[in-house]
Amino acid sequence: MSAGTYTPRPGAAPLTRMIAAQTALETRMLLRNGEQLLLTVIIPTLLLVLFSAVDIVDTGSGASVDFLAPGILALAVMSTAFTGQAIATGFERRYGVLKRLGASPLPRWALMTAKTLSVLVTEVLQVLLLTAIALTLGWSPQGNPLSVLLLLVLGTAAFSGLGLLMAGTLKAEATLAAANLVFLLLLVGGGVIVPLDKFPDAVQSVLGLLPISALSEGLRDVLQHGASMPWAEAGILAVWAVLGLGAAAKFFRWE
């Protein structure tokens, strides 16, 4: 008895197709989550509109939106790559979703790649929306778009590593509380809305080393002041990215 030929043949799909399908799924899940939309879209938009329209914080000379828009873009990256990803991944780990996906034909590194790509897709939508709103409010961006892109990618890598590290080491409830607390603390002390020079000198030196401060100040140097490339801030983000992703790869627990 000869073996027959079956169509379609059973087996795993090509790796690129699996990653693309998982990326699309992760993106849909991210955009359908009400809490994620609150963090990624509504809060940054409200902060941009409110603080641009009402003179609450002294942002120095020039239009408030010129100072605020780069910081809000940095906040959007943090909300998606760190806060949103940490909470979603933490609960997927708690409910056993990651364990089951890790046993599928999709390699674990490919699953993390899909999660990162979904973050990038969401960030593109955020940047387009916030940029349109800021331009409507009178924003006049300057600088090199490639420098902005590099800073956003480095910031995404840094926050993704920290978010995955938190989600892979803490319990889901602890991740939820810690991620939201960090979001609020960095919103206030990360140079997003309040300029770093409003803090005491000793505190400024510490806050300037935070990834949100490096990203917001770097974007501000380019988009507000027309700098070519803020290498100091880019270097800080690169260090955070290496440390965060390295620690996440080493200590992440799938169960």
pLDDT recorded at residue 122: 87
pLDDT tens digits, residue range 142-166? 889 999 999 999 999 999 999 999 9
pLDDT tens digits, residue range 197-237? 888 888 888 999 999 999 999 999 999 988 889 999 999 99
**Integer CA distances (angstroms), 196 to 9, 126, 149, 183, in order:** 60, 24, 23, 17
Report the b/e string of 95-131 with b at 16+ CB within 10 A.
eeebeebeeeebeeebbbbbbbbbbbbbbeebbeebe
* Residue 6 clears pLDDT 70, i.e. is over it: no
3-state secondary structure of 4: coil
Neighbours of 196 (CB within 10 A): 17
pLDDT category at 129 given cuts 50, 70, 90 is very high
* Residue 21 clears pLDDT 60, i.e. is over it: yes
pLDDT recorded at residue 8: 62
Cβ–Cβ < 8 Å for 210, 68: no
